[in-house]
Structure 1
Amino acid sequence: MSSPDTRSLNWRYTEIDDRDLEIRGRTLFFIIVLFSIIILVAVLFFYTRWICRYHNDLSVPTAFHAPPRPAQQGLPPTAIKKLPIILHQAPADTDGGAWEDMECSICLGEFRDGEKLKVLPACEHSFHCECVDKWLTHHSSCPLCRASLKVESLFPKILIQEPPIRIDIRL
């Protein structure tokens, strides 16, 4: 049952040449140097991380350690309180009216008769008082059309008047 072509598998541990697996001379030196550099870099990394986290030096400005705070995006509470409030009255003819005039675009709730609504002066859109107050604490624009409600006081307003009209009447 054995064929003449099959060879028997003989394991001989004495025939393995250990010289192929040996690390000698320069190779061992470079492996030790490389391992030492990796350990040194890791130790320096963790040390600087520990220093930055637990020993913040007060003489160093905090601008280097923390990102700058974003500017306030919303309107101040005094400006929100100054917005005009109206009482909602449903129009008699709802067939021709726009649907957006009948609901709050923030909460998508319908306006009921006698409900208090805030009107934004820039675009005259109406919203529930509570809804638009929450929106305006974080945003300075209309939630529907994105018209800006902030008045920039950095630049003075310059009113440009048209030159007077001259009429020459010759008789």
Structure 2
Amino acid sequence: MASSSQDSQEQPFHWHYSGFEDKSFHFHGRALLLIIILFSLLILFTLLCLYARWVCRYSDHQPAASTTNAAAPPDGTAAGLDHATINSFPTLLHCSSSDETAAQCSICLSSFRDEEKVKVLPDCNHTYHPHCVDEWLSSRSSCPLCRASLRLHPPIP
């Protein structure tokens, strides 16, 4: 037992940074160049990702110019139709026929029932539920299906 205590006292354990130096570890020529190139590519890739993220966030907050110009008419008035014009379109009772393509409102996608009121748009004769098409026409001035303009143009003298 005395010999084990003497062994621990004879070899003290010292931690020094100088004891861990390795003077044989060096970067030479190609290895140093490769490390610099890889580090540069990593920084470039990180910057490109940050730029792409910034562009995506910026484009989400800015409305596209084509959509804002397409919705508003060139004379600067509101894009939708006024209530008097919307109410002037005929409202009829739907009766089932053999033509199944016209038996559905293309706004809400529900089928028309017999004796249900439908609104018929002029020129294109497309039919919709009155509440569906009235809401559409209050913000837009075209047919939801064929995009035919429903604005009343003043007659040319």
TM-score by length of 1: 0.46
Higher helix proportion (structure 1 or 2): 2
